[in-house]
């Protein structure tokens, strides 16, 4: 009995260390503890109905536009430096035939028009959201942020932060494949 | 050249630590005194080698030798000298070297100062200390080499994280490590004791000064960090239940429990198995803290240098040291017995209660800190939660209340057996003062949380309780009061470290209560020259000036606060921009009256309505915060006072030999937990 009692600490120690080893290995594989997964994953995409930025930029979309095929919704702004980093990858997605919709977050018409002219516009449609209303509905915690939405209009994945080349390869593309099923 | 010397002596130190890990141990098991004696000289040699390596690294930082990769990454030629030096331990590699240095300091200190120890025990302690040192030196040499070179050397460095460029934080890590690593000595003593299968009063006596010194350093380190967070982060608070803060607080709680239980071992020769387990677990929490801060499994405002690779290595050290210790504990502890009995109302019981509450509260903190991780690993990452202050306030605070009640009883209770009625009678004054204090508090601040007056009452209860103990020791009330009988030095000498520490705790509680229950905050934005009213204070933004510091740009606001009595106070909160790293830090401006801190923070400026600039300002009224620092300083003084007590250090050889009779190794008859 006493031997058993005195061995108990080992048991707790092994369990605790096991968990820590597991998590450290996952952290090594790219787990980021600072990311809180969205509560919206697995839920229907929130209502959205945004106007176009201006007449000569394709835009203005609502939730019905997202139905029928797998789409990507990307939150960006002209003032956001990491958004420029992921721009190439957004173009890549469009080339792959994925329609990318954009929520233009807290921006000015002139700024964003200039930004798109300079960097190119790969988006299917851009919704203008100067006061961040749609972003609140979608639970956006920062720009850039990207959502994958399946054909039925459900959010299947959320990426916080820029889509770098490795994120595209390791996360976005496999998640798109999963969403297509 | 100098960094190569550092590299070389570090390798030598690793070698020495390796040999030191087993030769004295071998000597102890063969009763070969020549082999045992080598331990002391090796411990001293290891200390000097690591010291040379540490100086070599410090030299590289001082002369800004950017061919050393670590210096390039963490220093800059324009940095003030203080931060060039503190930059040595302001990064992962350097802080690990400091950690190894402190381990070696303690090892050498045992070798030099612990002369009364039986040679086998001493040899084993030194060997175990060297094993820990060996693990960390391997870690440094193979994964975190501070002397790695960079070719070609760059012209300038990247600079130290600006938030670390602060006098408070320059000394926070060394003190914290002194505490963390200090508990390694208690750990080594526990392992050595288990190997000897012999723990008795003299073991308690020998290990006690090491526990006190570790506890004192850890207390000072935590408070310094907390003080830094208070004036540097600009959030108006001083404790955030952040994982990294918890990482240092958990070993403190366990260490405090150990500090008390060791007394029982020393004086009463009982509670031995529990004390051994406490010593092992305290050091475990120290290592766990190191792991949490450095592995990157948790996010925190303080986590720096996080890297999962290193996390794996620290986990390996943890498994080796603590896993090994726990197995040894399970095997050997049943052979350690004691046959001392004590009744329910005795000092032994009071200390057991103290231990149970402290360890239990520490486990709630551990649970709160690790819960997000545990949940994530069970649910496979789909569930991510964070545990914040509400959890800790709801669990930790109520658990501590019985401890605060018991604290006044403990020192008054006699060992073995006591009559509760007698003690209760002695504490009449304390009880009445506590009740009066609670009622007065409630009358002054009726609309605050109800826990606040209770906490103030408890604080007064502890304070008067400790003074009662002191008065009884000096027999102040035993004789008719006569001023000529009062000898000043006599009363001073009767003040023990414990009196200081308990009084400090009482003052600390008052400070914590005041700052957490009655803090008020006001956020506003002001144009130049504009005034706003906050309660009875009028806040005016007089001017904003810009100038350059040694390695940063300053934006300093001049605020004028008019108090209700017409008195004005000038506040100068700053924002500092560090061009090298592109980061901004805040310097809060604090005016204290010892009762209340007025605390102003300058936020960002924004251009509002046609080019008029507006500055965001946060203004806090923090009641009783200075009492936190004062209370903590008193606690540290208590620790230092205890250490200065020569009876902790002199070991009566004859008496200790007599006590350590072989009869103690008899078959287990009675459990002792």
**DSSP H or E run through B196:** helix B167-196
pLDDT of residue B668: 37
Q: What pLDDT is stored for residue B659 in this prediction?
A: 42
CA-CA distance, B42 to B108, in Å (whole number)?
Answer: 9
Look at residue A27 and tell me if it is in a domain: no
Nearest partner of B443 among B624, B512, B508, B435, judged by Cα = B435
A9, A14, A28 member nearest B308 (Cβ): A28
Residue A7 lies in a domain: no
Beta strands in B300-406 (DSSP E): none
Query: How far apart are the C-alpha atoms of A175 and A170, rounded to whole Å?
Result: 9
pLDDT given at position B483: 57
pLDDT, tens only, A102-147: 998 888 888 888 888 888 889 988 988 888 778 778 877 777 888 9
Say how many domains are in chain A: 1
Q: With an 8 Å Cβ cutoff, is B386 touching chain A? A: yes
Does some domain include residue A68? yes
Domain range holding A81? 49-180
Is the model's pLDDT at B261 over the cut of 80?
Answer: yes
Position A30 in a domain: no
For an interface test with A, the pick among B308, B309, B313, B328 (most A C-beta atoms closer than 10 Å) comes out as: B308
Which positions in chain B touch A36 (Cβ < 8 Å)?
Answer: 384, 386
Chain B hits for A35, CB-CB cut-off 8 Å, are: 384
Tens of pLDDT, residue by residue over B401-428, are 999 999 988 888 888 777 778 888 888 8
In a domain, A150, yes or no: yes
Contact B326/A33, CB-based, under 8 Å?
no
> What sign for the dihedral angle of Cα B194, B200, B203, B204?
positive
Is the model's pLDDT at B220 over the cut of 60?
A: yes
User: Which of B242, B278, B300, B311 to mutate to probe the A interface, most A CBs <10 Å?
Assistant: B311
Q: What is the pTM of this model?
A: 0.81
Instruction: Return mean pLDDT, chain B.
Output: 85
- pLDDT tens digits, residue range B505-536? 999 999 999 988 888 888 888 888 888 888 78
> Which of B607, B619, B623 is CA-nearest to residue B540?
B619
Is the torsion defined by CA of B239, B243, B247, B252 positive or negative?
positive
DSSP chain A: -HHHHHHHHHHHHHHHHHHHHHHHHHHHTT--TTPPPPTTTTSBPPP-EE--SSTTS-B-EEGGGGTTS-EEEEEE-TT-HHHHHHHHHHHHHHHTT--EEEEEES--HHHHHHHHHHH----SEEEEETT-HHHHHTT--SSSEEEEE-TTSBEEEEEES---HHHIIIIIHHHHHHHH-
Contacts for A26-35: CB closer than 8 Å, 24+ residues apart: A26/B381, A27/B295, A27/B296, A27/B297, A27/B308, A27/B311, A28/B308, A28/B309, A28/B312, A30/A170, A31/B381, A33/B296, A33/B297, A33/B298, A33/B299, A34/B299, A35/A160, A35/A161, A35/B384
pLDDT at B670: 37
Which of A3, A31, A33, A35 has the highest number of chain B CBs within 10 A, making it the mutation to test binding with B?
A: A33
Is any Cβ of chain B less than 8 angstroms from the Cβ of A141? no
Residue A16 counted as domain residue: no
Contacts of B200 (CB under 8 A, 6+ apart): B265, B269, B272, B659, B660, B664
Q: How many CB atoms lie within 10 A of CB B263?
A: 21
Alpha-helical regions (H) of B63-118: 69-74, 81-86, 92-113
- Which domain CATH number covers A60? 3.40.30.10
- Quick check: B609 contacting A, CB < 8 Å? no
Q: Is B543:B528 a contact under the CB 8 Å cutoff?
A: yes
pLDDT at B651: 54
A151 domain residue, yes or no: yes
Q: Would you say residue B68 has pLDDT above 50?
A: yes
B326 CB neighbours in chain A (<8 A) are 9-10, 13
Give domain status of residue A140, yes or no: yes
Query: Among residues B579, B575, B581, B580, which one has the least CA distance to residue B546?
Result: B575
Q: Are A37 and B382 within 8 A, CB to CB?
A: yes
What is the predicted ipTM? Answer: 0.78
**What is the SS3 assignment for B401?**
helix
């Amino acid at each position: 009995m006493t031997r058993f009692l005195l061995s108990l600490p080992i048991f707790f120690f092994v369990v605790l260390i096991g968990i820590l080893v597991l998590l450290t290995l996952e952290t090594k594989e790219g787990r980021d503890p600072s990311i809180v997964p969205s509560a919206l994953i697995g839920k229907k995409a929130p209502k959205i109905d945004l106007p176009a930025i201006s007449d000569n930029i394709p835009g203005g979309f609502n939730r019905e536009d997202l139905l029928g095929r797998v789409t990507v919704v990307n939150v960006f702004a002209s003032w956001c430096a990491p958004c420029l980093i992921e721009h190439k990858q957004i173009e890549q997605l469009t080339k792959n035939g994925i329609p990318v919709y954009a929520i233009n977050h807290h921006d000015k018409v002139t700024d964003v028009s200039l930004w798109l002219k300079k960097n190119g516009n790969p988006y299917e449609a851009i919704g203008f959201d100067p006061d961040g209303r749609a972003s609140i509905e979608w639970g956006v915690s920062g720009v850039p942020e990207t959502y994958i939405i399946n054909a039925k209009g459900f959010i299947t994945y959320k990426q916080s932060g820029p889509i770098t080349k490795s994120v595209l390869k390791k996360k976005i593309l496999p998640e798109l494949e999963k969403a297509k099923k | 050249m100098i960094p190569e010397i550092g590299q070389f002596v570090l390798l030598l130190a690793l070698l020495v630590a390796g040999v030191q890990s087993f030769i004295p141990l071998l000597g102890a098991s063969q009763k070969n005194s020549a082999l045992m004696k080598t331990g002391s000289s090796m411990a001293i040699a290891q200390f000097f080698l690591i010291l040379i390596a540490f100086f070599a690294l410090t030299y590289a930082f001082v002369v800004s030798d950017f061919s050393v990769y670590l210096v390039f990454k963490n220093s800059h030629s324009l940095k003030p000298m203080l931060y060039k030096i503190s930059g040595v331990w302001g990064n992962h590699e350097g802080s690990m070297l400091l950690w190894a240095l402190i381990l070696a300091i303690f090892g050498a200190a045992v070798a030099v100062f612990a002369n009364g120890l039986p040679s086998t025990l001493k040899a084993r302690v030194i060997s175990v200390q060297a094993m820990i040192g060996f693990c960390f030196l391997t870690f440094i040499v193979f994964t975190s080499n501070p002397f790695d070179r960079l070719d070609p050397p760059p012209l300038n460095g990247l600079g130290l994280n600006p938030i670390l460029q602060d006098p408070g934080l320059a000394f926070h890590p060394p003190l914290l490590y002194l505490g963390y690593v200090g508990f390694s000595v208690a750990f080594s003593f526990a392992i050595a004791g288990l190997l000897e299968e012999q723990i008795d009063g003299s073991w308690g006596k020998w290990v006690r000064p090491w526990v006190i010194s570790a506890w004192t350093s850890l207390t000072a380190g935590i408070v310094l960090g907390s003080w830094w967070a208070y004036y540097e982060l600009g959030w108006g608070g001083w404790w955030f239940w952040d994982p990294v803060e918890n990482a240092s607080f958990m070993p403190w709680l366990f260490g405090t429990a150990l500090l008390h239980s060791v007394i029982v071992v020393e004086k009463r020769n009982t509670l031995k198995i529990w004390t051994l387990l406490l010593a092992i677990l305290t050091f475990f929490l120290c290592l766990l803290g190191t792991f949490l801060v450095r592995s990157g499994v948790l996010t925190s405002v303080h986590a720096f240098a996080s890297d999962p690779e290193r996390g794996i290595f620290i986990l390996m050290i943890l498994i080796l040291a603590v896993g090994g210790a726990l197995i040894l504990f399970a095997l050997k502890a049943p052979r350690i017995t004691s046959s001392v009995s004590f009744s329910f109302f005795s000092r032994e019981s009071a200390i057991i209660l103290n231990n149970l509450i402290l360890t239990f509260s520490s486990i709630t903190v551990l649970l709160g800190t690790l819960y997000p991780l545990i949940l994530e690993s069970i649910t496979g990452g789909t569930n991510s939660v964070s545990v914040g202050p509400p959890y800790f306030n709801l669990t930790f605070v109520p658990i501590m209340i019985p401890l605060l009640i018991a604290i006044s009883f403990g020192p008054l209770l006699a060992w073995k057996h006591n009559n509760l009625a007698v003690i209760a009678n002695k504490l009449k004054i304390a009880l009445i003062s506590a009740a009066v204090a609670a009622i007065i508090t409630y009358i002054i601040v009726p609309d605050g949380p109800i826990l606040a007056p209770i906490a103030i009452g408890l604080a007064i209860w502890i304070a008067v309780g400790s003074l009662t103990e002191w008065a009884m020791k000096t027999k102040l009330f035993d004789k008719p009061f006569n001023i000529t009988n009062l000898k000043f030095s006599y009363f001073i000498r009767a003040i023990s470290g414990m009196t200081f520490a308990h009084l400090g705790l009482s003052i600390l509680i008052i400070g914590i209560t005041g700052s957490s229950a009655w803090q008020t905050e006001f956020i506003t934005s002001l144009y130049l020259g504009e005034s706003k009213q906050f309660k009875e204070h009028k806040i005016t933004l007089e001017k904003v000036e810009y100038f350059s510091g040694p390695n940063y740009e300053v934006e300093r606001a001049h605020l004028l606060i008019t108090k209700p009595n017409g008195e004005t106070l000038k506040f100068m909160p700053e924002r500092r921009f560090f061009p090298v790293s592109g980061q901004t830090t805040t310097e809060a401006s604090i005016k204290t009256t010892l009762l209340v801190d007025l605390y102003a923070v300058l936020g960002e400026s924004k251009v509002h309505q046609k080019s008029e600039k507006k500055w965001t300002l946060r203004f806090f009224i923090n009641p009783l915060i200075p009492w936190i620092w004062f209370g903590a300083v008193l606690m540290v003084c208590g620790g230092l006072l205890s250490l200065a007590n020569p009876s902790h250090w002199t070991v009566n050889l004859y008496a200790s030999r007599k006590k350590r009779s072989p009869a103690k190794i008899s078959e287990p008859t009675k459990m002792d937990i």
